[in-house]
Amino acid sequence: MKKKFGLVTSVVLALSVIVTACGGGGAAGDAGGASGDKAKKIALIMRQNVGTFSAQYINGVKTEVEKNGGQLTVFNADTDLSKMASNLDAAVNQHFDGILIDHGTAEALQQGTQKAVDKKIPVVLFDTDIKIEGVPVVEQDDNKLAELSLEQLAADNNGKGNIVKIWVAGFAPMEKRQVTYDAFLKKYPDIKEIAAFGSATNNTALDTQTQMEAILKKYPNKGDITAVWAAWDEFAKGATRAIQQAGRNEIKVYAIDLSDEDLQLLQEENSPWAATAAVDPSNIGRIHAQTVFQKIKGEQVPDSVKLNPVLVKQSDLPKDKKVMMGDLSEYVSEWGK
């Protein structure tokens, strides 16, 4: 989850696949494997495709699918879980060779996933709470993501202050992050939540910015708000822009997730975005796709493939050059490992 840069990046990466608005898919790549076998058709069932994080995740999936001689079709539900369920049914009925599910819910997709399993179509989940034997889930360590960002907030502010939480229910990773947040408030009784909001929309960053502007008007004095904890980078982008435009850069932002667009915001002069905990979204996509090809080949795959997050601080980044995701390991040693 600069504006010109973000738009161009999203468009370029989004055009690398054809994202559907309805039930039918758009295909990307039709080369066969090295052995001359027919290309494996892979469906990516997404709850939403918002921001450069999603774009870089899709690009990681596409790169790995093409590496394995496959053909990718992306189904985007535009945050509509009913549409997501219909897209999954369509992928099953169209006999895809493998199905990837991104940020679904058991309530909406359990039945469709079971249908795929019954038809012997390999399914691999990403940050989805479905539990079916033989269906692995690739997941970020969401508790660790929250812990890293929150502990940095506490360390930077001597374990006290008034904070705003930006979070939304209904997503498996968000629910896990909330558990860690609740424990954090108990651990640091001098840190007080004075406001909380958040919603996942097709314009999350802009909507968050509008809501954060209202919070800043409600708490107009320096010291009223110490920091913002944003449980998603789209929330962080909106909060950061609102704080910048209000001239309230004493308020620091601590977040989860990272993309090239986010890095540009982090590196802006006097940016309030202090730190973010993340896993490389391109690497998430690559591993998600790699896992479904392992399933297709009949290889043994663990039920859970957990990716380790890294804390990236503004202070880690150089002042004399702009850093992109591909350069980040030069400045954050654990990045990409």
Residue 334: the pLDDT is 86
Digit-coded pLDDT (tens) for 268-295: 999 999 999 999 989 999 999 999 999 9
Whether the CB-CB separation of 172 and 200 falls below 8 Å is answered with: no
DSSP state of 37: P
* Mean pLDDT value across residues 316-330: 91
For 27-81, the pLDDT digits (tens) are 444 434 444 478 999 999 999 888 788 898 999 999 999 999 999 999 999 989 9
What is the extent of the structural domain holding 170? Answer: 142-279+311-330
The whole-number average pLDDT for the span 284-311 is 95
pLDDT value, residue 109: 97
Q: What is the mean pLDDT of the chain?
A: 89
* 273 in the same domain as 285: no
Q: What is the pLDDT of residues 180-192, one digit of tens each?
A: 999 999 999 999 9
Residue type, 138: V
Is the pLDDT confidence value at 226 over 70? yes
pLDDT tens profile 68-125:
999 999 999 998 999 999 999 999 999 999 999 999 999 999 999 999 999 999 999 9
pLDDT of residue 136: 96
Both 52 and 105 in a single domain? yes
Distance CA 209, CA 212 (A): 5
- Verify that 269 and 303 share a domain, yes or no: no
Assess if residue 235 is contained within a domain. yes
- The CA distance from 71 to 96, in Å, is 10
Co-location of 237 and 321 in the same domain:
yes
Is residue 222 located within the same domain as residue 297?
no
Residues 120 and 155 occupy one common structural domain: no
Q: Looking at the structure, do residues 51 and 179 belong to the same domain, yes or no?
A: no
Are residues 151 and 187 both part of a single domain?
A: yes
pLDDT at 8: 35
Both tokens of residue 148? Answer: 């890293």
Answer whether 67's CB lies under 8 Å from 73's CB. Answer: no
Residues 102 and 67 in one domain: yes
- The pLDDT-based confidence of 172 (bands split at 50, 70, 90) is confident
Q: Is 50 exceeded by the pLDDT of residue 12?
A: no
The answer to the question of residue 335 being in a domain is no
pLDDT band at 335 (very low <50, low <70, confident <90, very high): confident
Query: In the predicted model, is pLDDT for residue 16 greater than 50?
Result: no
Give yes or no: residues 162 and 247 share one domain: yes
In 10 A of CB 105, how many CB atoms? 18
Mean pLDDT of 252-267: 94
pLDDT of residue 159: 98
Asked if 204 and 238 touch (Cβ cutoff 8 Å), the reply is yes
Domain tally for the chain? 2
Cα–chain-centroid distance for residue 128? Answer: 12
Taking the alpha carbons of 173, 179, 184, 185 in that order, is the dihedral positive or negative? Answer: positive
Classify residue 336: in a domain, yes or no: no
- 337 assigned to some structural domain: no
What per-residue confidence (pLDDT) applies to 337?
Answer: 67
In the three-class reduction of DSSP (H, G, I as helix; E, B as strand; rest coil), residue 242 is classed as helix
Q: Does residue 151 share a domain with residue 210?
A: yes
Within-domain flag for 274? yes
In a domain, 175, yes or no: yes
pLDDT band with cut points at 50, 70 and 90 for residue 13: very low
55 and 125 co-located in one domain: yes
pLDDT of residue 18: 36
Output the domain CATH number for residue 147: 3.40.50.2300
For residue 34, is it within any domain?
yes
In-domain check, residue 56: yes
pLDDT at residue number 52: 82
Decide: 251 and 243 in contact? Cβ < 8 Å.
Answer: yes
Q: Whole-angstrom Cα distance, residue 262 to residue 71?
A: 30
